[in-house]
Amino acid sequence: MVSAAGLCKQVVTSEGMLDILSDVTLEIKAGESVAIVGVSGSGKSTLLGLLAGLDTPSRGSVTLAGQRLELLDEDGRAAVRAGRVGFVFQAFQLLAGMTAQENVMLPLELAGVTDAGARARELLDRVGLGDRVGHYPRQLSGGEQQRVAIARAFAGGPEILFADEPTGNLDSATGARIIEILFELNRERRTTLILVTHDEALAPRCDRRIQLDGGRIVNVARVSS
């Protein structure tokens, strides 16, 4: 489903060239759930950005849904993502001017789904926010906002879901509830899940755990569920 070969990412700083990712090679199969773990600054989010085609590598290649991303331009990569990829972000990334339902509707509307409203309501109900559909993000707690984000991520029926520190902004109890929902939906919909987290406790819930350190993969472990 997603693979990377010899992936490198370098940035120019005032002190010269900085390697953020070095020679990362991995393959993630359809339906698999993978946790990318590591300390802050280990290159987790950069890897996620590259795998999702949000960023371009300095070297190496990424294949997503059978397409070599580094050969495509911005719009080409966007076309690969369209309808196939869902995202959950640490900062939720809900649009402040839209209600919970409208936020969830957005990917459906972009895909031209006619009953976007009903499907959004259904998903919000599924994440336990059936009574908050008309609320704006500022009227929701952090956990509730992340639940809306999860509903939005699953709304388009993605084949693959990228989650970047989904519990990073939440307390542990709320975080646990969010993870519960995320994994439940993932199981139900047989989505490929790539989860970036610094929370080691989340890793055992995935099929595989990839540990990064200093931009390199230092450990790949299969996790028995």
Partner 1 sequence: MTRLKLALRLLRRDWRAGELNVLTAALVIAVAAVSAIGLFSDRMERALSGQTAELVGADLRLASPQPVAAEWLVAARDRNLRVAETLRFPSVVVHGEGLQLASVEAVGAGYPLRGELRTAKVLYGPETVAPGPPAVGIAWVEPRIMQALSIVPGAVIEIGVASFRVERLLTYQPGRGGSFFTLAPRVLIALGDVPRTEVIQPGSRVVYEYQFAGNANALAAYRQWLTPQLAPNHRLQGIGDGDSGAGRALKRANRYLGLTSLLAVILAGVAVAMATRRYGERHYDTAALLRCFGVSQGGVLGLLVPQFLLLGLIAGAIGCLLGWLTQAGIAQLLTGLLPATLPSPGPMPILFAFAAGLLLLAGFALPPLLRLKSIAPLRVLRRDMVPLSPPVLMVYGAGLLAITVLTLRFTGDWLITVSVLAGAGVAALALGLLALALLNVVRRLRSGVGVAWRYGFNNLWRRGRGSLTQLLAFGLALMAMAVIALLRSDLLASWQTELPPDTPNHFAFNILPADVGPLKDYFAARAIPSSGLYPMVRGRLTHINDKPVTRPVTKDDDADESLRRELNLSWSATLPPDNRLTAGPWWDAASGGGVSVETQLAERLGINLADRLTFSIGGQPLTATVASLREVQWDSFHPNFYMIFPPGALDDYPATWLTSFFLAPQQKPLLNDIVRNFPAVTVLEVDQVLGQLRAILQQVGAAVELVLLFVLAAGFVVLFAALASSLDQRIYEGALLRSLGASRRQLRSAQLAEFLLLGLLAGLLAAIGTEIIAYLLYTQAFELEYRFKWQVWLAAPLLGALLIGLAGVIGTRSVLQRSPSGILREL
Question: In angstroms, what CA-CA distances link 56 with 9, 25, 156?
Answer: 8, 15, 24
Region 171-210 residues binding partner 1, contact defined as CB under 8 A: none
CB 83 within 8 A of CB 111: yes
End-to-end alpha-carbon separation of the chain, Å?
21
How many other C-beta atoms can be found within 10 angstroms of the C-beta atom of residue 54? 18
CB 82 within 8 A of CB 64: no
Does 107 help bind partner 1 (rule: CB under 8 A)? yes
- Binding segment toward partner 1, per CB under 8 A, in 6-14, 97-105, 184-192, 201-209: 97-105
Neighbour-count burial for 2-15, b at 16+ CB within 10 Å, e otherwise = bbbbebbbbeeeee
Does 55 help bind partner 1 (rule: CB under 8 A)? yes
Does 93 help bind partner 1 (rule: CB under 8 A)? yes
Shortest Å, Cβ 125 to partner 1: 22
Of 15 and 75, CB closest to partner 1? 75
- Binding segment toward partner 1, per CB under 8 A, in 8-16, 59-67, 77-85, 120-128: 77-85
Does 11 help bind partner 1 (rule: CB under 8 A)? no
Q: Which of 161, 3, 171, 4 is nearest to 83 (CA)?
A: 161
Of 13 and 225, CB closest to partner 1? 13
Query: Rule CB under 8 A: which residues touch partner 1?
Result: 45, 48-49, 52-55, 74-75, 78-85, 87, 89, 91, 93, 95-98, 102, 106-107, 109-110, 112, 137-138, 142, 156, 164
